Amino acid sequence: MVNSGGYKFDENTQVVTLETIRVASLEDSIAVSERLTQDPRIPRSAGFLVDLRSMTRLLQFDEIYQIIEWHKVRDFPMKGRIAFLVDRPATVGTANIFCTLLQQYAIEADMFDNDELALSWLSSGPRSSGEFARGVEPDAVTEEFTNRSEE
């Protein structure tokens, strides 16, 4: 795994892990995105692991929208899946905004509370987004979506 200031790239799994920062900012996010697009080792189909769990300041909607627009103007240079690691309502909200906006551009994104599940999802399925699909069987019930109040 090679560390390139702001992210680590694992050539075996083709996954970029964005380094955890405690305070997220639009400027830092754009700077990392610029480095990623200029890194010749990273294919367009690389998966991304974004850990939101230890952040004390999360990006706001307008900042997330500007990040998506930055990528849109550049025709989404990275087309791989994006997995967000979440642990509390605020991180779920932030990841949900990203996932919803990315879905509009056929970039597959989802959120997880477990590192291993996120990495497994990143390495399964298509190496490049094109159709949005969670990969869950239609009749499957997962703990994430089980309504506990019915018990």
pTM value is 0.78
pLDDT score for 101:
95
pLDDT score for 49:
96
3-state secondary structure 92-124: HHHHHHHHHHHHCCCCCEEEECCHHHHHHHHHC
Say if strands 82-85 and 109-112 run parallel, antiparallel, or are unpaired.
parallel
pLDDT score for 125:
63
pLDDT score for 126:
59
Is residue 120 within 8 Å of residue 85, measured between CB atoms? no
What are the φ and ψ backbone dihedral angles of 48, each rounded to 5 degrees?
-125, 135
Say if strands 15-18 and 47-51 run parallel, antiparallel, or are unpaired.
parallel
Q: Distance (Å, rounded) from C-alpha 148 to C-alpha 47?
A: 32
pLDDT 10s per residue in the chain (151 long)?
444 468 999 999 999 999 877 788 899 889 999 999 999 999 988 999 999 999 889 999 999 999 999 999 988 888 899 999 999 999 999 999 999 999 998 999 999 999 999 999 998 865 544 433 333 333 444 444 433 444 4
Query: Strands, E, within the chain: which ranges?
Result: 2-3, 7-10, 15-18, 47-51, 82-85, 109-112
